[in-house]
Structures are given as C-alpha cells and as structure tokens.
C-alpha cells in the first residue's frame, strides 16, 4: 500500500509540474487565465487531494473514537457542551442588532446567525481565558 501511495504521489507531482509549465503567461488578463485548461485541471487536482485528505482524516478519527470508549465519552461530552453554547448563543442573538442600512442587504435570520456566531466566539474565548487563568491563580495562592 505504501508503494502505491508513493507512485500515485509521484504521478500527481509530475502532472502538476507539466500543468505548471502550461499555465498562461503573466501578461494574459486574469479573467482569461482563470478559464484556461491547465488552471482548471490544477484546481481539480487540488480539490481531489483535499477531498482525499479530509476523508482520510475523518475515517481515522472515527476509527480511533470507536476503538477507545473513554475517548468517545469525552468527545460526546464536548459535542454536547458545544451544542449548549450554540443554543445559548442563538437565544441571546436578537437579529435586530444592526443599523437600518444593513437590513437591505441581509435578512433578519442571516443577521441572527451572524450574531449567534459572534456570541459563540465570545463565550468560547471567555472560557479559554478562564481555563488559562484559573490554574495560574490556583498555583499562585496554593504555594
């Protein structure tokens, strides 16, 4: 299997080198250069390699999770905690916290989702800061 992966990577590398050589000149307009065949094929190679990497990472992660019951329990605990934070953030976002000029560009639901995302960021940032500061304070007063 290791040999097959090495050979496939060499082939992809050679194809990419040939496509790099065939890329349009720098004096070609960007709109035309973006529509060239070598450029499109390089994007296809990128998407395929990215897809393989994502699928492989997910498969090994899921395999590792189900082989370790303690890790699965911890992961479920974290996912439920994240779902609670997202739920609280969604309830806290109003969807009306922007000026009138922006309401033309986005619906109330979109604005509410953006507010939810910001609230999730703020809550998780505050939790991370607390988790860094509390042990330091305990060490400081513990000695």
Q: How far apart are CA 49 and CA 39, in angstroms?
A: 15
pTM: 0.58
Dig out the tokens for 25 from the structure.
Answer: 């000149």
Residue 106 pLDDT > 80: no
Of 19, 44, 67, the position where a domain reaches its end is 67
Both 60 and 98 in one domain: the answer is no
Closest C-alpha among 84, 75, 77 to residue 124: 84
Both 32 and 76 in one domain: the answer is no
Both 143 and 82 in one domain: the answer is yes
Tally the domains of the chain. Answer: 2
Q: How far apart are CA 38 and CA 20, in angstroms?
A: 8
pLDDT in tens, 34-77: 778 888 888 899 999 999 999 999 999 888 888 888 888 888 99
Both 35 and 84 in one domain: the answer is no
Domain residues for the domain of 38 are: 1-67
Q: Which H or E element spans position 63? A: helix 37-67
């Amino acid at each position: 299997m290791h040999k097959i992966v090495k050979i496939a990577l060499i082939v992809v590398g050679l194809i990419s080198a040939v496509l790099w050589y065939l890329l349009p000149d720098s004096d070609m307009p960007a709109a035309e250069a973006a529509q060239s065949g070598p450029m499109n094929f390089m994007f296809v190679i990128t998407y395929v390699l990215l897809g393989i990497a994502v699928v492989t990472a997910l498969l090994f992660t899921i395999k590792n999770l189900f082989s370790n019951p303690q890790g699965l329990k911890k992961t479920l605990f974290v996912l439920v905690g994240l779902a609670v934070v997202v739920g609280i953030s969604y309830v806290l976002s109003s969807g009306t916290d922007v000026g009138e000029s922006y309401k033309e560009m986005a619906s109330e639901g979109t604005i509410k989702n953006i507010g939810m995302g910001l609230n999730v960021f703020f809550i998780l940032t505050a939790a991370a800061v607390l988790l860094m500061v509390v042990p330091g304070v305990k060490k400081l007063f513990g000695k």
